[in-house]
Structure formats: structure tokens, C-alpha cells
Structure 1
């Protein structure tokens, strides 16, 4: 699945922005890869989730989250991901690739990111292989998940924007 023209335009227009700003645009709101749901639900793995993929103790089943609350939660949850990704990436990379790494690590967790071949490829200077590695992370409970296939393709497209 390709990134929607609206999301692509939004991301490209942020070309001079920080990687964090690009990642927030990529993840947040109704146009982001996560979409945005104001009422908690169980994701495909059975985890309580709300807003743009927020999980954990901030998710209160039955609570309705405003857009302002969702924005605050995304910023709160993305901050430690940014720190972890920035510490793990040892070479200079462009902001689009870094934003895609933030999105990926936000979704799979920083431990999985740190152990990934994707990170090894980035640090070896093979960004194209790293972007392609995103396509490997599409399984939930050993089952290929169409939603993750779509999400990883969008992350890959953002990752590759810096390679052109």
C-alpha cells in the first residue's frame, strides 16, 4: 500500500523540519499510519490501545480522549523512543530516515529496534537495506498482518524519501 497523497504531501512539506516533527506528522492524527481513535480498543495483539497507537498505563478503557490529550500522549510516548533511536544510530542519517526509525521503534519497541538487522544496516551505512528491512516486521503471533504490511510500506516510503 502506498502512502496516501495527503500524507505524502504533508511529510514532504516538512522536509526541513526535525525528524521528530516528521515522525509526529507520520504517526499522529487521523492521517497518520496509526490513525487516531479516541476510545480505547484492543489491537490485533490484544493490547489496550488509544489515540495514535498509545499503549500502557495511560490507556483507560472507557475513557474518551480528546485530540489535545492524544497529541500530549503521542509526544510523551515518542520522547523516549527518540532518545533511544538517537543513541543507537551511530552515523549521520537524514531526517526522513530518522523519522521512519522513530515510527518503527515506536511501534515495535526500542528493545526490538536495538536488536534488529535494520539498525545494523543503518549503522553499516546501508540505508537502502535498512529501509527494505522494514518489510520483514509484518507478523503478529507468527501471522502476517495486512495492517502491518501497509504500515511498514509507508514507513519504508518515508525512509526512502531521504535517499532520492
Structure 2
């Protein structure tokens, strides 16, 4: 048995270790106080041990950073992560608001124009004939799935979070409709990754077919996505 290479850093800086030290201190105090005919009440002991356990648990999940740096957030990393989280949530909410009217919400499973079983707002994953959902379940499902599609699209379009909101919403709506596999192999993503975002926006109308034929609803949706995309770029300049 031997110590890990960075044991000193872990021992001095890890939040989980600070929780262990605090728990040890609480137990020492609880043991020493009776020697002076003073006792720690059971209530206070339980509260302090619970707080120490919480610190240990949180420490195992957080980046193990120096305590003072975390409290001061000297690097700004915490603020940046929080802002990114809020920004992503806002983008997902905007995308949901754009997508839902185009997809429509149907509480009972149905077959789409190419025979795929679908339910709620265009959900096709694990959908079977006879499936039924409430409106609340459909709303939650759409929000979760849009967030998934955003994350998947970002894997092949790393600049996605840096694009104007309208551009992100247009691209997320498109990928939700056509699938991220097809989206990530597309000329649209290739152009966006090359910095030609206008060209990428203009690729959207090409994706208006299902089952090999042009669908009027898809044509209208792609035109709306392109308009949103180009307008957002114009406003950003």
C-alpha cells in the first residue's frame, strides 16, 4: 500500500477532506467538553455532523479547488459556469417556444407522414401505438429532448453557444426535426464550423423533404428557421 502521487494536494485542498477534518473536530469537542463538566447537546451534535457529512458529499462532486479560491472565485470560473448554465437554459426555453408550434402537441401516439410512431411534440423515441401522455408530461418531454439535441449538436458544432440566440434556436429546431446524426454530417454544420454562418443559415431550406418528397409544412418551417437565423445575424452586427 502506498500514497497517491498528489496526496498532499488532496489532504490540504480537497473539500471532502476538509469535511472529514471538521467531523473529527466535532467529535473531539464532543469528547472533551464532558471533561469540563460541559456537554454538547444532542441536537447541536446532530446538526454539526450533518453539516460535515454534507460538506464531504458536496466535496466529492465539486472540482477539488482551494477553499479560499472557491470562496473568492478569483479565477471567475464559478461565475462563468453559472452564467453558462443560465444561458443554456434560456436557449433551450427559446427553442422549445419555437419548436412546439411547428411540431404541435398530440397526446395520443400517431404515425407521421412517413409512418413513424410519434407523440407529444414530435417525440419518436420508444413510441408505440396506444401510448398516451398528459400535456404536462409532453411539455417536460419536449424540454428534456430539446436540451439533449442542443448538447448533441454542440459536439459537432462547438461554436454553437457563441452564436446569436436566434441562430442557435434555428439550428436546434432544425436538428430536432432532422436528427443530430444527419445534422452533424451536413454541409450546414460544415459551413458553420468554417465561419460561414450566413451560408449555414441559407442551407436550411434544402431540408424540406420527408420520405423523398417535398413537404409543404417542412418548407414553411425551414423558411421560418432561415428567417430567424439571418435576422439574428443582422441584429448582432
Same fold by TM-score greater than 0.5: yes
Match of 2:169 in 1: 99
Distance in 2, Cα, partners of 1:76 & 1:22: 13
User: In structure 1, which of residues 82, 88, 108 is the aligned counterpart of residue 150 of structure 2?
Assistant: 82
Distance in 1, Cα, partners of 2:144 & 2:105: 16
Give the number of the structure with larger relative contact order, counting CA–CA contacts within 8 Å between residues 6 or more apart.
Answer: 1
Contact 1:39 1:64 in 2 (8 A): yes
User: In structure 1, which of residues 37, 49, 61 is the aligned counterpart of residue 118 of structure 2?
Assistant: 49
Match of 2:230 in 1: 160
Post-superposition shift, 1:83? Answer: 0.8
Q: Secondary structure at the match of 1:44?
A: coil
Match of 1:20 in 2: 92
Post-superposition shift, 1:25? Answer: 0.5
Write the deviation string for residues 79-116 of structure 1: whole angstroms up to 9, x where unpaired: 22111112222333111111111111111111101000
Number of equivalenced pairs: 144
| Greater share of residues in helix | 2
Larger Rg: 2
Contact 2:93 2:143 in 1 (8 A): no
Alignment of 1:150 with 2:186, yes or no, is: no
Match of 1:33 in 2: 102
CA RMSD of aligned residues (A): 1.6
Unmatched 5+ stretches in structure 2: 1-88
Contact 1:36 1:50 in 2 (8 A): yes
Post-superposition shift, 1:131? Answer: 1.0
Normalising by structure 2, we get a TM-score of 0.57
Question: Which 4+ stretches in 1 moved above 6 angstroms?
Answer: none
Unmatched 5+ stretches in structure 1: 1-16
Normalising by structure 1, we get a TM-score of 0.81
